[in-house]
């Protein structure tokens, strides 16, 4: 009989585990003392854009999904687990909610967290796009003068890219 490394409950290990349950193993990788709005920060492996990863039943799962399953309940098929706090490494179940991919996308757009414009490693800047839309200069000339690809300029000029600027400066009307 040994004691769980997380909750100190005595248990009979079936394997070489130091934890009495998956829940305890999961919680051992969480920092509960985060100052950022009550977030529980994942201290285990992180990949990609800061999302934590956890091995569950032989598969690598996103930590916030595992947190939801362990601490709240099952996730409906086809649903995502989304963050209210917008902190990818947060696994606090009070900060998580389930929704469809579309609901998650709408939430991200409402909060303006979607990478857009200059935050999206763009070759253009807001100033260049505004100048382009106000300019009477031919698009090819504008592209050459600014050392940019003509298709990049066309997309910005006609409002196919940089859409959030369409209400500020209307796109050009294509004459092609």
Residue 93 neighbours by CB under 8 Å, 6+ apart = 67, 68, 71, 72
The per-residue pLDDT for range 131-162, each reduced to its tens digit, is 899 988 999 999 999 888 999 899 989 988 88
Give the model's pLDDT for residue 70: 94
pTM of the model: 0.62
Burial label for 43, CB within 10 Å (0-12, 13-18, 19+), is middle
Residue 97's pLDDT band, with cuts at 50, 70 and 90, is very high
CATH 3.90.75.20 for domain 27-110 = yes
Q: Where are the domains of the chain?
A: 27-110, 117-165
Taking only the tens place, the pLDDT of each residue in 57-95 is: 899 999 999 999 999 999 999 999 999 888 889 999 999
pLDDT tens, position by position, 17-41: 899 999 999 999 999 886 667 899 9
């Amino acid at each position: 009989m040994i004691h769980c490394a997380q909750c100190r409950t005595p248990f009979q290990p079936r394997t070489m585990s130091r934890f009495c349950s998956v829940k305890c193993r999961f919680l051992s990788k969480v920092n509960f003392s985060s100052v950022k709005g009550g977030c529980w920060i994942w201290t285990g492996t992180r990949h990609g854009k800061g999302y934590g990863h956890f091995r569950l039943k032989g598969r690598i799962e996103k930590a916030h999904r595992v947190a939801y399953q362990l601490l709240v309940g099952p996730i409906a098929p086809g649903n995502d687990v989304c963050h209210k706090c917008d902190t990818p490494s947060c696994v606090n179940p009070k900060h998580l909610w389930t929704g469809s991919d579309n609901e998650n996308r709408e939430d991200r757009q409402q909060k303006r967290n979607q990478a857009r414009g200059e935050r999206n490693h763009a070759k253009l800047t807001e100033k260049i796009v505004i100048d382009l839309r106000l300019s009477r200069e031919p698009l090819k000339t504008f592209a050459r003068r600014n050392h940019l690809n003509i298709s990049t300029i066309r997309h910005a000029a006609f409002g196919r890219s940089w859409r959030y600027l369409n209400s500020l400066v209307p796109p050009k009307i294509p004459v092609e």
